[in-house]
Amino acid sequence: MSLTINSMTPAGYQQIKDQIRQLELDRPGRIKQLQEARALGDLSENAEYSAAKRDLRHLESRLRYLNKLLQYAEVQEPTTSAIVDLGKFVTIRFAEDDMDTYQIVGKFEADLAASKLSFDSPLGRAVLAHSVGDTVTVDAPNGAYDVTITAIISDPRIL
């Protein structure tokens, strides 16, 4: 499996689609705010107009960015193989008995607070394509360290 910069899980793809849908629903309200601010008069000293224009520009920029992500996205379903790849949940033993479980996700889905680890992060790159029992070295900015893969789960309902 070749992972590209826009590889993502089906859930990540859906998240982006949901963000786009929400921004598209917000757009008419932002346009109306801009029209109302413009009707107030002198545009050169109209703070409401400047703020509404900036907000609409930000919304349009975010929409373009998200649409580009989807345009070049490569959605990958987790495989049933016994190796770590995109979409799978992997339990990792760090030093001593310190263990954590992460889902390997695309670069734009990563969220450590939700235990979603990017395949492109140092830890994600280290465990990718390895199997249970493998000890791998993580080349992190603060120095290298070893981790051991203790479990790989394809179906999150098993957790």
pLDDT tens readout for residues 76-91: 988 888 999 999 999 9
* 157 has pLDDT over 70: no
List the CATH number of the domain containing 120: 3.10.50.30
Between CA 92 and CA 145 the distance in angstroms is 13
Pairing, β 99-105 against β 7-8:
unpaired
CA dihedral 50, 53, 54, 57 (to 10 degrees): -160
pLDDT at 80: 84
Residue 1, domain member (yes or no): no
Q: Closest Cα to residue 59, out of 35, 36, 31?
A: 31
Residue 84, domain member (yes or no): no
- Which pLDDT band holds residue 6 (cuts at 50, 70, 90)? confident
Between CA 24 and CA 50 the distance in angstroms is 21
pLDDT at 78: 82
Q: How many domains does the chain have?
A: 2
Question: What's the token pair of residue 129?
Answer: 């394509």
Region class of 70: left (phi > 0), else alpha (psi between -120 and 50), else beta: alpha
Between CA 124 and CA 126 the distance in angstroms is 5
pTM, two decimals, is 0.82
pLDDT tens digits, 17-49: 999 999 999 999 999 999 998 888 777 778 888
Q: Closest Cα to residue 147, out of 102, 94, 101?
A: 94
Residue 154, domain member (yes or no): yes
Residue 146, domain member (yes or no): yes
Structural domain that includes position 123? 89-158
- In the block, residue with structure tokens 């049933």: 80
